[in-house]
Structure 1
Amino acid sequence: MPSAGNPVRLCLRVRRFFCESALCERRTFVEQIAGLTRRHGRWTERQRSTLAAVGLALAGRAGARMAGVFGVAVSRSTVLRLVEALPDPEPPVPRVVGVDEYATRKVRFYGTVLVDVETRRPVDLLPDREASSLAAWLAVRPGIEVVCRDRALFFAEGATVGAPQAVQVADRWHLWHNLSEAAERCVAQHRGCLGILTRDPAESGLRLHGPSW
């Protein structure tokens, strides 16, 4: 890391080991210092982690400018490569998981999307919408307490098999959607009753007057 804004270079003398096996593909092995160096690395592990944190916060171009402020000359492409090399964070096991389908090609190819309902963040994507795939995903996550899903039979079967301890509920969108469809069907079936409730003004002896102006 830079010291008082000045770049610092460490010169290390390390040992090189040679393999005597003729079948070995590596042949030579260079000694690494744990926590300080890595193969083909130009920075210490501390500087690498610092640049990756800057890249996560500011991305490439702004991250490179910020690195220059504290004495590290680096390009925006290098900052982005350090960010891309970071391992994906392990998402926490959701307590309430939402299950729905998504289409990679409508009417032909469907998959399953799983969302943490409490944080509203996607957790995983399954390549199909089979009950067995959902059951296998839920089975290795016993901490799930509630499965929020639509009324598809394959989702119901997968949730029952994979998470028998979880409560299955309908999600809010499908509840409102089903309620609106039921209300529309009810109004359509009783359309004839509406005429009885509204009487013709001429039959009731009432006269409608226009405005007085």
Structure 2
Amino acid sequence: MCNDYRLEVDIASIAEDFEDLKIKIKMPEGKPNVPAREDIKMTDMAPIVRSVEGERSTGELVNRRWSWPGTKGKPVYNFRSEGREFTSHRCLILADGFYEFTDPADPKQKRLDKWLFTMADHRWFCIAGIWRESPLGEAFTMLTMDAGPDVAPYHHRQIIPLTRDQWVDWLDPTVPAGQVLRWLPQGTLPVSHVYGTPPAQGALL
């Protein structure tokens, strides 16, 4: 399950893309300082756009902690979406890629193979998330579902990337979650091998 993602696109470009989509972005805490990062990991601070109550096409861009402490102290960085409506505290998690890890193709290789998923036709995208108060302050987590066609060869579960026409609906908690949280068509999430020993052609399929 995803515990590492990437954001190398600058906030100014992201804000322009939201403006082009007629989504108003507020920055109540000022413009977030978001350096380009190849790896964002749980407990890191990262930018999200959270919904604004009563304003369908508006979001607040803030920096928040990825994961909150669970009941046993482990970080809650992923959260199952099945059977839940999420009628408040929705957010969009800004990313331009996310990673999954698999057992190495070479049994002599100690570390896992690392794979990068991106969004076809777009430089960056949003991942469906929620946020909440925690003992460590406000924090967010990524929603998950059974893996769709692009991710299934690598993991049985996946986070939920959203296409641009889904962003407004996810920011609007009156829109049923089931209308937004769904698999994307095969080929939407191209994957590339980051490190490890590349498997034989078709070995994961």
TM-score range, shorter chain: under 0.3
TM-score computed with the length of structure 1 as normaliser: 0.19
> Greater helix percent: which structure?
1
> Greater strand percent: which structure?
2
